[in-house]
Copies of this chain bind each other. A is one copy, B any other.
């Protein structure tokens, strides 16, 4: 591999909305063509790799000697200069972005995570996607309370907890993905959004810390024979209420205050959020203030009218919250541009609400042939898994796809397989294979392949 790599390295430009205007993109292309032309004129094609590198070293050396950069000669910034640290100024364009016009007001909207610019499995909290139903708040934790109760003796010792009370309890820390049930929704209707930020950017993954919901329910004396469901309610104006089965509530649900090592961010539910691993984000109730134990589903507005699956026969399914196995290639992806033929590291993310990722296959020819990608560790249940695979682009059109298989054996479907069962009228739970077309000019775009 090493010899191949040394000669076939390509370059990829990020999506224009992140770094480059169309004009700058064209400039970059021209500059690249000009450089390649000069290199050829110099006879670089016939030079050995060593000679090329030596020449480059010499040129670089001259630059360095004649013009030492300030950071090599000067005194830098002091420690703690910023207080809480911030990203480089050179990364200012890598941001969560709202999809204009998606909703009427930005308080009931979405901002998407820029997956095309991220690495590994941990989503930086500053880039975690947002989905609010009535805007976000920064609630005073000293005044926040969580009440746990239930009728008919289902909770024997109802209780109101302060944050201090909760944070003294036995805690767990676990890495889980959270995905909005509507992630990738436009693909149902053939609306090919331009970049992975908009097609898949409502998924993030963090390390959550809190007390298991089962610990709290046991403390409050839950009657396991009577209790069938819990209702989780948030303190914000959206009156978010969601039913969670008692099996899930007593399994791995976390009443969480920590996210990626620190307290939750306000836009993600500070100071308290319900973590429901593997289940769509709407059930991860933010600003969690109440848990009620009952013996029937509540059929709240956000589970009876919204977050339902419209089926082809005109019926609809409710309470289908588990996020099925899914994957997507994040680089190269829509709106990026490959500037050269040659080697690329194709990378992406896979996840399953039902367990761990067992395997990810990648195709560069629209699904005719598949190769198995390398999975980066740790491979954790109900968490993102990063995959990588080598690819040498020959300059011809190519269609890149990834297909994930989870620990239950479930294979991520093609879009037409999914539509055969679910029709085209759905919003939620679209987990089909995503296809990226690489055109001859290097531009990558979103296409649907059947």
List residues of chain A with CB under 8 Å of any chain B CB.
1-3, 5-6, 9-12, 49-50, 53-54, 56-57, 60, 69, 71-91, 94-98, 105-107, 109-111, 117-128, 130-132, 134-141, 143, 145, 147, 149, 156-160, 164-165, 168-175, 207-209, 215, 218-221, 235-237, 257-258, 260-267, 270-271, 287, 343-345, 347, 376-378, 380, 386, 388, 390
A262 with B87: CB separation less than 8 A:
yes
The CA of A71 and the CA of B95, in the complex, are separated in Å by 26
Query: How many identical subunits does the complex contain?
Result: 2
Among the listed B69, B87, B149, which residue makes an inter-chain contact with A263, where contact means beta carbons less than 8 Å apart?
A: B87
Among the listed B132, B143, B174, B263, which residue makes an inter-chain contact with A79, where contact means beta carbons less than 8 Å apart?
A: B132
A157 with B49: CB separation less than 8 A:
yes
CB-based nearest B residue for A256: B119
B158 with A50: CB separation less than 8 A:
yes
A128 with B80: CB separation less than 8 A:
no
Give, as a whole number of angstroms, the nearest-CB distance from A380 to chain B: 6
Give, as a whole number of angstroms, the nearest-CB distance from A274 to chain B: 17
CB-based nearest B residue for A236: B71
Residues on B with beta carbons closer than 8 Å to the beta carbon of A77: 107, 135-137, 266-267
CB-based nearest B residue for A11: B164
B159 with A57: CB separation less than 8 A:
yes
The CA of A158 and the CA of B168, in the complex, are separated in Å by 56
Residues on B with beta carbons closer than 8 Å to the beta carbon of A175: 378
A345 and B171 contact, Cβ closer than 8 Å, known pairs A141-B90, A158-B53? yes
B171 with A53: CB separation less than 8 A:
no
Closest 9 CB pairs of A and B: A76-B135, A78-B106, A119-B258, A120-B173, A119-B209, A2-B218, A85-B126, A71-B137, A79-B111
A56 with B160: CB separation less than 8 A:
yes
The CA of A145 and the CA of B64, in the complex, are separated in Å by 10
A168 and B219 contact, Cβ closer than 8 Å, known pairs A50-B157, A124-B262, A378-B378? no
A75 with B134: CB separation less than 8 A:
yes
B87 with A84: CB separation less than 8 A:
yes
What 5 additional pairs, Cβ within 8 angstroms, besides A77-B266, A171-B347?
A50-B158, A57-B159, A57-B160, A76-B136, A82-B267
